[in-house]
Amino acid sequence: MVIKDDRYTYRVTWSEEDQEYVGLCAEFPSLSWLARTPEAALKGIRQVVADTIRDLKKNKEPVPEPIATRGYSGKFMVRVPPEVHRNLAIKAAEAGVSLNRLASSKLSK
């Protein structure tokens, strides 16, 4: 089974421990697929995800929504120690930007 309009988030990386490429899916963090080539790792993880979705639907269990189709507000809260907050506020003031702009810039690098 192939997923029609597959919009899940896949990644292929090298596993030094296994000496193979590993295919991963962000929405299904417990799944992986090992293969000798990156292309085979991607193909394998996509098949495992498709099989898992088929089983979830068969058992009337919820299927994770793809990250790409979720809505995001652009806001999230990060707690930091007061000293870090103070240092960032000083850096923002020195740069002539808001603390939010400074943090956003640092996070997007």
Per-residue pLDDT band at 15 (split at 50, 70, 90): very high
Residue 30 clears pLDDT 90, i.e. is over it: yes
- The average pLDDT across 79-95 equals 95
3-class secondary-structure state, position 20: strand
Residue 31: its pLDDT value, please?
98
Mean pLDDT along residues 70-96 = 93
In the chain, domain spans = 10-68, 72-107
102: pLDDT strictly greater than 90: yes
- Whether residue 1 has pLDDT greater than 90: no
pLDDT score recorded for residue 2 = 67
The whole-number pLDDT of residue 4 equals: 76
| Angle subtended at Cα 87 by Cα 82 and Cα 90, rounded to the nearest 5 degrees | 125
Q: In what order do the strands lie in the sheet with 32-35?
A: 10-15, 20-25, 32-35
Whole-model pTM?
0.75
pLDDT in tens, 56-74: 999 999 999 999 999 999 9
Dihedral of CA atoms 44, 45, 51, 54 in degrees, nearest 10, equals: -140
